[in-house]
Every structure is written in C-alpha cells, then in structure tokens.
Amino acid sequence: MQAATLLRANPGPLSLGIFTLLLVQPVMAVNPIIDSNPIERSIELAQNESKETWTLGLGAAWVPRYEGGDDYEFRPVPLIGYSGAGRFSLGIGGLRYNLSSNGAFEFGPTLGYSRGRKENDGALLSGVGEIDGGVDVGFYAQGKIAAWTLQANVIRGVGSAPEGTRVRLGIDHGNELGKDDQLLVGASLTWTDDKYTHAFFGINDAQSLNSGLPIYSAGAGIKSFGANVDWVHSFSPAWFTTFGVSVKRLTGDAADSPIVAEETAFGVSAIVAFRF
C-alpha cells in the first residue's frame, strides 16, 4: 500500500506517522554520525507526554563527514515528531510503538532509516566503495527512575547493505534549571556484530586492491562509547530550542581500521521547534 493511500484510508496518528516517516526519514536519518537518542530525549523533556503533541522543527549539526573521519561538515536536521498518550511516537530516530501500559517503562518495535556512506566522504575511503542507506527494524526499551532514564535499542538493517545488528545502551539524567530551561546529561555505548563492523570498518580483497589499503578483518564488539550534554529552552508554550554537544570514541576493531583517521569525534547540534 502506498503511503498516500494509507493516509487517505485511515487519517489517524499511525497512518500519518508512517506517511511522515516514509517522506522525511531518508533526510532525517543521521546515524551513526549523530546519535539521535539524546536529541529525542531532550525533545521529550520539552513535550507534554499527557496529551497528543506534534512537533515541527529545523536545525543543523556539525559532525564528521563519516564515522572515523577527521573532516567535519554541517548537516541539516529536520524534525517532524509525534507523541502523546497513545502507543505510537515519531521522531528523528523513526517510528516507535509502545507495548507497555506502565508509564515508567516502555518497550516495543521500531522502524527507521539509516544513512549509508559515500566514497567522497573522505580521502581514506577512495576505492572502498559506497554503503547504501536503508530501512531499519528494531526493538527499544526505556525505563525511568526519578530523573534517570535507562535506554536499550537493538537495530537491524533490512534489505540494505549492511544487514548487520547494532545494540545501543544509554543512560541520562534530566535536570530542571528553572521554569523554562532543562539540561540533559547522558552516556552510551554501542555494540555491533561482525557483519556491520566489517561493512563499515573492514577492508576485503577487492577494496584493498582498489584503494591500496591493507586487507583488514573487523569483528563484533563494542564499537564506540560516548557522552552528551543537551540544553532545552522554552520561549513560550509552543516554541523551544535544543542545543547539544557530544563526544564519541571508537574502540576495538572499529578504532583500528585503516579507514579511521580520528578515533574521537565531536558533534554540535541545534534545533528550533514548534509544538502543537
């Protein structure tokens, strides 16, 4: 069924969410360069979870051109989000369905889109070929204890290269700085299986011949760990901004890859948004 047909047949939050996801996710997708979880958590702090809320916004992020690269660029970060008392939510990371009736704990399936990688993203990538972006399916769990939030995401690419699995574990703490300001401080680590790690960081025989890089086999393990600080400021009940700073460190086989020019990456993001 086409997205437009679905929207006409059932113009509710689910169909509108899927329609929006199909339209904007290829642009919105920022993984793995930008960790979308802290951005989404900062937006959650600004939203009223007790009622249906749509959020529209636009921002930018200053990040490496590829994971492991040392050249940085600005990327647009459009935002179309939905949250509320229902089961479905939509954000930068994609579409989620909450199977839990416990307000302090959520879990359920996810649907999203991940960026690939271009050869021209960095000099070390010349000759290694391109990695297509594609659809992700997964499962998420999120638990809240006072101001603390624990997160787990399991994601697998479907019908795209690479079809590997990533697992992200995260923790963050939300701090009230006043009536209009909130601060989110968090940390995370990401594990990837051998298929995903080798696709992004390994060098096979053909790639070695084309690029001049040594053959390199990258296996499963903890790919990276990171930390973030995000500030949310509300100008009015409708308008708010988020500003985030993050750092990520590659580790294990990923860090030792011949295509990695810099193991530590920094990122800055800012979004202006309107909620209704």
Q: How far apart are CA 221 and CA 235, in angstroms?
A: 43
CA distance 113 to 31: 9
Q: Which helix (H) or strand (E) holds 113?
A: strand 105-114
Beta bridge partners of 218: none
Q: What is the pTM of this model?
A: 0.85
Among 196, 142, 137, 188, CA closest to 165: 196
Range 195-215 average pLDDT: 95
- What's the confidence (pLDDT) of residue 64? 93
C-alpha atoms less than 13 angstroms from C-alpha of 153 in its C-beta half-sphere:
23
Calculate mean pLDDT across residues 237-261.
94
Residue 263 has pLDDT above 50, yes or no: yes
b/e burial code for range 36-75 (CB count within 10 A of at least 16 → b): bbbbbbbbbbbbeeeeebbbebebebebbbbbbbbebeeb
Q: Are 110 and 96 in contact (CB under 8 A)?
A: yes
Rounded CA-CA distance 171/152 in Å is 9
Residue 259 φ then ψ, to 5°: -90, 0
Residue 11 or residue 226, greater confidence: 226
Per-residue pLDDT, 141: 96
Beta bridge partners of 113: 135
Mean of pLDDT values over 10-35? 50
* pLDDT value, residue 28: 46
